[in-house]
Amino acid sequence: MSDVRDYSAIAPRTDPAVLAGRLSDHLQEMNAAIVSEGGTALKHVRDAVMAALGSAEQLEYTLVGDTVSGSAA
C-alpha cells in the first residue's frame, strides 16, 4: 500500500488540471515499479495504490505475534 504524503492538504490548494496530471504521472510510475518487481496493482483510490507482490498460491504465511512471515511453498 502506498499513498502520497499530505495529499488531502495539497489537493484543495492545487489547480485541478495540474493535480490530475501529477497524480496520473505518479500512478504510472508506481504501476511501472510494481510490475518491474513482478507485482500487480490491485486498486487505485485517489492517490493510494494497493499492490500484491508474489503469488498467493506460491506463498505460505505464518502469523507470529503481530508479524507475518512468508516463505515459498
Residue 1 lies in a domain: no
Residue 2 lies in a domain: no
Phi-psi region of 42 (alpha: psi -120 to 50; beta: other; left: phi over 0): alpha
Residue 55 lies in a domain: yes
DSSP secondary-structure letter at 11?
G
pLDDT band at 73 (very low <50, low <70, confident <90, very high): very low
Q: What integer pLDDT is reported at residue 72 of this predicted model?
A: 46
Q: What pairs with residue 67 in β-bridges?
A: 64
State the cell numbers at 27.
500512478
**Which position has the grid cell 499492490?**
51
Count of domains observed in the chain = 1
Least Cα distance to 23 among 10, 39, 36, 42 occurs for 10
- Per-residue pLDDT of 10-24, as tens digits, reads 999 999 999 999 999
Residue 51 lies in a domain: yes
Least Cα distance to 31 among 50, 17, 45 occurs for 50
Average pLDDT along the chain:
79
| Domain extent for 68 | 7-72
- pTM as predicted: 0.64
